[in-house]
Amino acid sequence: MAASALGTPYWLRVCREKGFLAPDIHKAGGTAVKVGSVPFVAASILALGIAGEARPVVAAVSIAALVGIVDDLAGLWNLEKIAIPALVMSVIPAGGREVLGVPVPAPLWGAIFGTFVVNASNTLAGFNGLEAGCFSIASAFLAVQSAISGDLDGSLAYLALVGACAPFLAVNWYPARAFPGNCGTFFMGASLAAVSMSRGMDWPLLILYVPHGLDFALKLLGWGKAKKKG
């Protein structure tokens, strides 16, 4: 939390000096730092390592954040946003799962579950504080659930994510001074998915992501209709 709190103001100042800004649709003529989540992401990765998470977990979330940065700077095709996280999340150390009674191997489950959470986190966005707020709520709930289940190490990992996100949420809240960018949203989804799979908390996380799934389904149903009406 301290690293995120100290790094965020400095990062925002540097980005404003360099003109790395984006318009805020919630403020007429207003702007905010385009990718203000970098200190939060870096602090979270450090915190996960200190909390004792497995190396594949730390590596996967780091790569997901880098993919988000590439998307912010250069842009990725939609297929790339699906395929790359699926490949990255397939290496998370987790046992296989059963879906409707059908055994699913761990790599396949990691690919499907991981890319859903990563992309759902990136899709349900657009309002000041929405992405970071949902991430903080989900992390806090899973921390409590892990503690109740007796997994204190897992609870510590989730609490580390909440603590690192708090300083960023303060500047992302309305009126936002910084946006997470795809670097932030990809990391949020990847960190929740990776920690949850390694700790056996993927089903509780999946339930928490029902609103994200509904939002994604509605966007699919309405895809192209807005342009036709306009």
pLDDT tens-digit readout, 25-80 = 766 556 788 888 999 999 999 989 887 788 899 999 999 999 999 999 999 998 99
Q: Residue 79 has what pLDDT?
A: 92
For residue 99, the cross-strand partners are: 102
To the nearest 10 degrees (0 to 180), the angle between helices 106-123 and 181-199 is 140
What gap in Å lies between CA 95 and CA 74, rounded to an integer?
Answer: 36
To the nearest 10°, report the CA torsion of 81, 221, 132, 41. Answer: 0
pLDDT range class, residue 150, cuts 50, 70, 90: very high
What gap in Å lies between CA 214 and CA 219, rounded to an integer?
Answer: 9
For residue 31, the cross-strand partners are: 23
Average pLDDT over residues 175-187: 93
Q: Residue 29 has what pLDDT?
A: 54
One-letter identity of residue 97: R
pLDDT over 90 for what percent of the chain? 63
Chain-centroid distance, C-alpha 16:
24
One-letter identity of residue 191: S
pLDDT range class, residue 229, cuts 50, 70, 90: very low
What gap in Å lies between CA 163 and CA 198, rounded to an integer?
Answer: 20
> Can you give the pTM of this predicted structure?
0.90
What gap in Å lies between CA 54 and CA 135, rounded to an integer?
Answer: 21
Express each pLDDT in 93-132 by its tens digit: 876 677 767 788 889 999 999 999 999 999 888 889 999 9
